[in-house]
Chain A
Amino acid sequence: MPSKRICLVLIAVGLAPLMGCGSPSIFSSSSTSHTAYVTLPNSNAVAAFRIKTSGSSVNNNAEAQFTTIVGSPFPAGSSPTSVLVHPSGKYVYVVNRNENDISLFTINSSIGSLQEVLPRTTTGLTPVSMVMDSGGSYLFVINELSSSISTYSINAGTGALSQIAGSPFTTFNNPFSLAIAPSGKFLYVVNPDLTSVIAYTIASGVLTPVAGLPAQVGNGPRAITVDPAGTFVYVTNSADNTVSVLNINPGTGALTLLGTFATGITPTSVVALDTYLYVGNQGSTNVSAFTVTPVTGVLTEITSSPFSVGIAPLFEVLDPDNLFLYVGSQTANSVTALSIDTSTGALAETSQSAATGVSPSSMGVTK
């Protein structure tokens, strides 16, 4: 039965490509993937990328691969400046700065494309930044011209926003950036015109100023973040080229300045990863990396820091698996992946980046 044998062999050989031939199989992959959304104010759109990551966090032995999702960029409102991904991975929120509203997008679960759900939700004047609590129940939006904070509850089933009674809450003139404690109990706001951090307690989305004087920081506070443990608040002082470390009173949310540490030139972004802190220096086109001493909050710059990124970093976003620091540049019109060595905190440039075509302003990544 030579013909039968031949037939079987031919079929087996023909199917070999499907089995992957011992190389990385087309049926499975050890890599993980996330979708990333980047606001493009000049295009009134949101770019969408799939980021496939693989490798180890040790010795910067990780790879990230960006792929533009078909249909990207997706139309948004006028001048979208800030983006957030809901923890469920189902919704994306974008503030449209020139339109004074928020776009809600649903994320297509198959490919990661965005479809906007109309109508848009009204904010105050010139919304510039927003944060969400870790449970995805409340959304807080800073209105720069209105000098207020709009607060919305989020419908878990539809993603729809409903403004909380009493919102918008008045704050100091021209608020610019905000951060929320992991507990969801405290909100912190900075204003480049002030040298202080305004603190609020949160109760069912309602904001109440923390008693006492605002905590003092440096000049031109620009970016703010809270560490994952909810112990420290970090503020970049873009006019002083420093970063301030403040301690959070876990009971009241009040802040106490612990210290101020030198960064590169014009620090405009900051992210905290466990005991590491990364400050993006737009003026010196690099990222300063620090280790954080527990309790005291003292920052010690990591060997080889600052790390050159070759572009002027405007924003930084951590990879959900903590393998990469994604850095966005308005001058390079791109988002670049820097690998993180989690044993030392050191960063390493990778050749991986995503071209956005126009200036990006913020980025959100699905978990």
Chain B
Amino acid sequence: MASKRLGIVCKRTAIFLFMVFSVVTAASSLSAGQIAPQWEFFGGYSYMRFDSPPLGYPSWSNLNGFNGEVTYNITRRFSVTADGSGGYGSMITAYNYMIGPQYNLRKDKSKYFAHAFIGKAENTIGITTLIKSGFESVGRAYAFGGGYDRDLTPRFTFRVMADYLHTDTFGTSQTDVRISTGLVFHLGHFGRRPKL
């Protein structure tokens, strides 16, 4: 029990350090600003390391699925992001719908960002009994994470990001890790366009 708690604390610390490191290093090394689009639409593949032991599984589960985000840039550095993801594994389906602030640091073709989300988790375990098929639970979800964008064209950006994701479903808590990658489509902009 104690070792599990230690592992969770360690994970949380690592993610916190990740976020702090993102901001500090980027702020210290970036000077010129990347163009800031008004809207960003992200879609791509998502891998989730799902904390299924609290649900009775013998070990963690690997979920593959999708991740989509819509980001509205309020300023060049601050934005609001709505995040939705779905993961599918052995008898587990996990959907998360969250929204929250995002901080961005831009330089030329690159962008580093960190965000914090809160929202809803909808987890389903596909087991069948005499009276029921599929057990679903809806609960709170929150996430912390960040990532890196690299411009491919003025309209499209490649993105990779990682999140620590906490969900409360089935009367227990799950502490998951989600990694996503895909393309970002830009719509509208302020600032100068990058040289590509």
- Interface residues of A, Cβ cutoff 8 Å to B: 2-3, 6-7, 9-11, 13-18, 20-27, 29, 33, 35, 48-50, 52, 63, 65, 67-72, 74-75, 108, 110-116, 118
**Size category, B interface:** 35 or more
Contacts of A111 in B (CB 8 A): 52, 55-57, 91, 125, 127
Would you call B127 and A71 a contact (CB within 8 A)? yes
Which 7 A-B pairs rank lowest in CB-CB distance, beginning with the nearest? A69-B56, A17-B11, A14-B162, A16-B14, A21-B10, A113-B127, A23-B7
Measured CB to CB, the nearest residue on chain B to A12 is: B18
Measured CB to CB, the nearest residue on chain B to A26 is: B60
Contacts of B130 in A (CB 8 A): 74-75, 115-116, 118
One of B49, B55, B148 near A26 (C-beta < 8 A)? B49
One of B15, B57, B170 near A17 (C-beta < 8 A)? B15
Measured CB to CB, the nearest residue on chain B to A68 is: B56
Contacts of B26 in A (CB 8 A): 6
Contacts of B91 in A (CB 8 A): 108, 110-111
Contacts of B128 in A (CB 8 A): 115
One of B53, B54, B108, B177 near A18 (C-beta < 8 A)? B177
Would you call A3 and B110 a contact (CB within 8 A)? yes
Residue contacts A-B, CB under 8 angstroms, 7 given: A10-B25, A16-B17, A17-B14, A18-B177, A70-B135, A71-B129, A111-B55
CA distance in complex: A293, B22 (Å): 68
Contacts of B29 in A (CB 8 A): 2-3, 6
Contacts of A14 in B (CB 8 A): 15, 18, 145-147, 162
Contacts of B58 in A (CB 8 A): 33, 50, 52, 112
Contacts of B54 in A (CB 8 A): 67
A contacts with B: majority SS:
mixed
A308 to chain B, nearest CB (A): 23
B31 to chain A, nearest CB (A): 11
Would you call B125 and A71 a contact (CB within 8 A)? yes
A122 to chain B, nearest CB (A): 18
Given contacts A14-B18, A27-B60, A114-B129, 17 further A-B contacts (CB under 8 A): A2-B29, A3-B108, A10-B25, A13-B14, A13-B21, A14-B146, A15-B162, A22-B10, A26-B49, A26-B60, A49-B56, A50-B57, A74-B129, A75-B129, A75-B130, A110-B57, A115-B129
Measured CB to CB, the nearest residue on chain A to B91 is: A110
Measured CB to CB, the nearest residue on chain A to B125 is: A70
CA distance in complex: A63, B3 (Å): 12
Contact with A along B128-159 (1 / 0, CB 8 A): 11111001000000000111100000000000
Contact with A along B26-58 (1 / 0, CB 8 A): 100100000000000000000001011111111
Would you call A11 and B60 a contact (CB within 8 A)? no
B123 to chain A, nearest CB (A): 9
Measured CB to CB, the nearest residue on chain B to A28 is: B59
Q: A24-B4, A24-B6, A70-B55 in contact; A6/B25 too (CB < 8 A)?
A: yes
Contacts of B59 in A (CB 8 A): 29
Would you call A70 and B112 a contact (CB within 8 A)? no
Contacts of A69 in B (CB 8 A): 55-56
CA distance in complex: A7, B129 (Å): 48
Residue B82, interface by CB 8 Å: no
CA distance in complex: A3, B90 (Å): 39
Measured CB to CB, the nearest residue on chain B to A29 is: B59
Residue B70, interface by CB 8 Å: no
Contacts of A71 in B (CB 8 A): 125, 127, 129, 132, 135
Contacts of B145 in A (CB 8 A): 14
CA distance in complex: A3, B109 (Å): 10
Residue B164, interface by CB 8 Å: yes
Residue B196, interface by CB 8 Å: no
Contacts of A3 in B (CB 8 A): 29, 107-108, 110
Contacts of B7 in A (CB 8 A): 20-21, 23-26
B51 to chain A, nearest CB (A): 8
CA distance in complex: A227, B4 (Å): 37
B137 to chain A, nearest CB (A): 8
